[in-house]
């Protein structure tokens, strides 16, 4: 499952990345493996999305979110 597939309010753990260039950018922003993320907002057209990670909220384009493999938490 990818970060782009989450629904509003869903929580997940980051597991891995499909693209190394995107991985480096996102890890610099605090999106490291096993970090908890929550989907807090999705633009009307679906792109971009906003996720909460720690005390920060980050906006990601869908192509970036599709490169993030996650494990959804129930």
Reported as a single tens digit per residue, the pLDDT across 18-61 is 988 889 999 998 899 999 999 999 999 989 999 999 999 999 99
Q: What structural domains does the chain harbor?
A: 3-73 (2.30.30.90)
This prediction has a pTM of 0.88
pLDDT reported for residue 32: 93
What CA–CA distance (Å, rounded) separates 45 from 37?
21
Per-residue confidence (pLDDT) for residue 41, from 0 to 100: 96
- The confidence score (pLDDT) of residue 19 equals 87
Contact assessment for residue 65 and residue 42, using Cβ atoms and an 8 Å cutoff: no
Exposure string over 46-74, b if 16+ CB within 10 A, otherwise e: eebbebebeeeebebebebbbbbbbeeee
């Amino acid at each position: 499952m990818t970060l782009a597939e989450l629904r509003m309010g869903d929580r997940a753990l980051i597991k891995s990345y499909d693209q190394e260039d995107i991985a480096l950018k996102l890890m610099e922003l605090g999106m490291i493996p096993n970090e908890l993320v929550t989907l807090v907002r999705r633009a009307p057209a679906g792109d971009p999305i906003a996720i909460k990670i720690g005390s920060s909220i980050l906006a990601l384009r869908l192509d970036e979110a599709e490169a993030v493999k996650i494990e959804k938490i129930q």
